[in-house]
Amino acid sequence: MIRMLLPLIVFAGLLVLLIFGLRTADQREIVQSPLVGKPVPEITLPGLNDPETTYSTAELIGEPYIINVWGSWCWACREEHPYIDRLGREAGVPLVGFNWKDEREDALRWLNRFGDSWSFHMVDFEGRAAIDLGVYGAPETYLVDHRGVIQHKHIGPIDATVFEDLMRRIVQMRAEADS
């Protein structure tokens, strides 16, 4: 009888392990970007509304800021747009739009329709600078501190939970910058 129960016992052990695995699944799911903790690469790109102006990440050093990667073609960017609105109003730090692999006209029309809450936009139509930045896809949101170091990166659209988390981190970065 005991011998017959052996498979059941082994299976029970397997279940315990899997239940444990399930409980810690969230932690494993976070893809760590290799760039977190490293300085933002120096990127110089033209603006969206103002193609004559160029913006550079080097100019932004000194205060914390947010980089948000988006494109008019990106469905999930529309989804997160309400939270981008709120970030623009509530974060109290520059919110840099990184317009990725887009067409100028499409992007401007999109902003007209849904609202432009970003401080300014850099455009990367070719998608070359995005490679330096380690962009996986749009949307993506980076938090950069006053020393120009990437503190955090969120891949995918921002929802209520992510928004709270981002705000908490931004407040912390601002406090650090002030001290």
Q: Which residues bind other proteins (CB under 8 A)?
A: 1, 4-5, 7-8, 11-12, 14-15, 17-26, 28-29, 71, 73-76, 100-101, 127, 131, 137-138
**Minimum distance of other proteins from residue 94's CB (angstroms):** 24
Cα(98)–Cα(84) distance, rounded to whole angstroms? 13
Pairing of strands 95-100, 120-124: parallel
**Minimum distance of other proteins from residue 118's CB (angstroms):** 18
Q: Who contacts 76 (Cβ-Cβ below 8 Å, separation ≥6)? A: 138, 139, 156, 157
**Structure tokens that stand for 160 in this block:** 């209520």
Cα(94)–Cα(148) distance, rounded to whole angstroms? 13
Of residues 72 and 93, the one with the C-beta less far from other proteins: 72
**Minimum distance of other proteins from residue 73's CB (angstroms):** 5
**Minimum distance of other proteins from residue 72's CB (angstroms):** 10
Of residues 7 and 178, the one with the C-beta less far from other proteins: 7
Calculate the alpha carbon distances from 88 to 67, 120, 132, 149 in Å. Answer: 11, 11, 25, 21
Of residues 83 and 145, the one with the C-beta less far from other proteins: 83
**Structure tokens that stand for 118 in this block:** 């970003």
Of residues 10 and 175, the one with the C-beta less far from other proteins: 10
Of residues 7 and 34, the one with the C-beta less far from other proteins: 7
**Minimum distance of other proteins from residue 71's CB (angstroms):** 6
**Structure tokens that stand for 18 in this block:** 């899997």
